[in-house]
Structure 1
Amino acid sequence: MFEKLYSPVEKLKLAAFNKLFVKRDDLIDPYISGNKWRKLKYILAKAEAENKNHLVTFGGTYSNHLVATAAAASRSGLKSTAFVRGEKVKNEMLLLCELFGMYLIFTDRESYKDKPALFEKYFKSDVSAYFIDEGGASTEAVIGCSEIIDELNDVYDHIFCAAGTGTTAAGLLDGIVKNNLKTKLHVVPVLKNGIFIKEEISKYIPKIENLVLHTDYHFGGYAKTTPELFKFIKDFTANTGLLIDPVYTAKMFYAITDLQLKKVIKSDDKILAIHTGGLLGIFGMKDKF
């Protein structure tokens, strides 16, 4: 399932940039999308090596990670269960999870905070159960995301990615360090107080000299938006033909354009943006467009 990968690098035509490129991880798979595909690649390999056939994970009601895990489990002949944060609801994302055979356990927000305790409570006696943290955060996920750098045929002055847990960013930084590149990795946290992501990244990759954090582009916090961001999404997509989502990639591309406007990055700099997929999350905000 993880042998074939289609993620080309394409040049974006935007007036302010001469050398802006995007790594199209959103094209890898419609359901195991972008960085989710890369994170799950080695997570599932480890589960198989440990003879586990029941994937147990965590996420919100519009989680791309839940859909990706459900799809990956189904294609691999595995069972899957998810603890879903909040009260019981029905939506497009959870429908996909259930169609892929995932069992959903809706969990109050306080209990959800202690994920290992939830796993222990429900699956202590299930020797086939395999714990996957929210978003797939793990050493295996970092290894998978580091392969993005290995796939590049060119060297870039700057690489940009959006960040929720920092796992993808850690993988990118690992790839940059291993390949002895001078490339700056620009990470755009999509939640408030995103400075903690530097600490999360350093847990995996202690050498962070190439890391630059931009914490002012969260638009109010995780999954929070503003009319300005939605206008940016509409204009950007209409002008480039590239679909972006309000939670992650729109905030990243907004940051890139704003930083160029402020002369933090130059119009002639060679820039690569990582499109981490997650486009199904748009359905959670369809009423705002």
Structure 2
Amino acid sequence: MFEKLYSPVEKLKLAAFNNLFVKREDLIDPYISGNKWRKLKYILAKAEAEHKNHLITFGGAYSNHLVATAAAASRSGLKSTAFVRGEKVTNEMLLLCKLFGMDLIFTERESYKDKFALFEKHFKFDVNAYFIDEGGASTEAVTGCSEIVDELTDVYDHIFCAAGTGTTAAGLLDGIVKNNLKTKLHVIPVLKNGNFIKAEIVKYVPNTENLILHTDYHFGGYAKTTPELFKFIKDFTANTGLLIDPVYTAKMFYAVFDLQRNKTIKSDDKILAIHTGGLLGIFGMKDKF
């Protein structure tokens, strides 16, 4: 399942930038999209090596990770179960999960905080059960995401990515460090008070010399938005033909534009933005467009 990869680098033609490129991770797969493909690649390999055939994971009701895990499991002949944070709901994302054969366990928010306890309570005696953390956070996921940098044929002054757990960012930083690049990695946390992301990255990659964290582009917090962000999405997509989502990639691209306006980065600098996919998240905010 993870043998074929299509993730080209494309140049965006925008008046404000001479050298803005995007790595189209969103084109890898419609359901195992972008960084989710990268994260699951070695997670599934480890599950297979341990002879586990039941993937157990966690996420919110609009989680791209849940859809990706469900799709990956079905294509690999595996079972999958997800603990879904919050009250029982029905939406487009969870419909896809069910169609891919995933069982859903809706979990009240307080219990959801202790994921290992949930796993132990429900699957302690299931010898085939394999724990996958929320968002796929793991050493295996970092290894998969580091290959994004390994694939690059050009060198960039700056690489930008959005961050929820920091796993993708850790992988990108690992790729930069191991390839001895001088590239600066700009990480855009999509949550309020996103400084914790650095500590999460350091768990995997202690060398943060090339890391720059921008914590002012969360637009209110995780899955929070503003009219300004929605206007940016509509203008950006109309001008580039590139779809972006309100939760992750829109906030990252907004940061790129704002930092260029503020002269933090120069218009002539060679910039690579990582499009991490997750476009199904648009459905969670369809009424706002």
TM-score after normalising by structure 1: 1.00
Query: Alpha carbon RMSD of aligned pairs, Å?
Result: 0.2
**1:151 paired residue number:** 151
- Match of 1:58, SS state, is strand
Q: CA deviation at 1:38?
A: 0.3
**2:269 paired residue number:** 269
**2:67 paired residue number:** 67
**1:42 paired residue number:** 42
Counterpart residue identity of residue 116, structure 2: P
Distance 2:167 2:125 in 1: 30
**2:185 paired residue number:** 185
CA displacement 1:181-239 (0-9 Å, x = unmatched): 00000000000000000010000000000000000000000000000000000000000
Q: CA deviation at 1:150?
A: 0.6
**2:120 paired residue number:** 120
Show the 5 A alignment for 1:192-211. Answer: 192-211=192-211
Report how many aligned residue pairs link the two structures: 289
Gaps in structure 2 of 5+ consecutive residues? none
CA displacement 1:47-96 (0-9 Å, x = unmatched): 00000000000000000000000000000000000000000000000000
CA displacement 1:13-46 (0-9 Å, x = unmatched): 1111000000000000000000000000000000
Show the 5 A alignment for 1:82-231. Answer: 82-231=82-231
Distance 1:175 1:256 in 2: 21
TM-score after normalising by structure 2: 1.00
Distance 2:158 2:175 in 1: 14
**2:247 paired residue number:** 247
Percent identical among aligned pairs is: 90
Distance 2:178 2:104 in 1: 39
CA displacement 1:136-158 (0-9 Å, x = unmatched): 00000000000000100000000
Distance 1:59 1:76 in 2: 21
Distance 1:115 1:75 in 2: 25
Counterpart residue identity of residue 74, structure 1: S
**1:26 paired residue number:** 26
Confirm or deny that 1:51 pairs with 2:42: no
**Structure 1: 4+ residue segments shifted above 3 A:** none
CA displacement 1:85-139 (0-9 Å, x = unmatched): 0000000000000000000000000000000000000000000000000000000
**1:233 paired residue number:** 233
Distance 1:127 1:206 in 2: 34
Gaps in structure 1 of 5+ consecutive residues? none
Counterpart residue identity of residue 127, structure 1: V
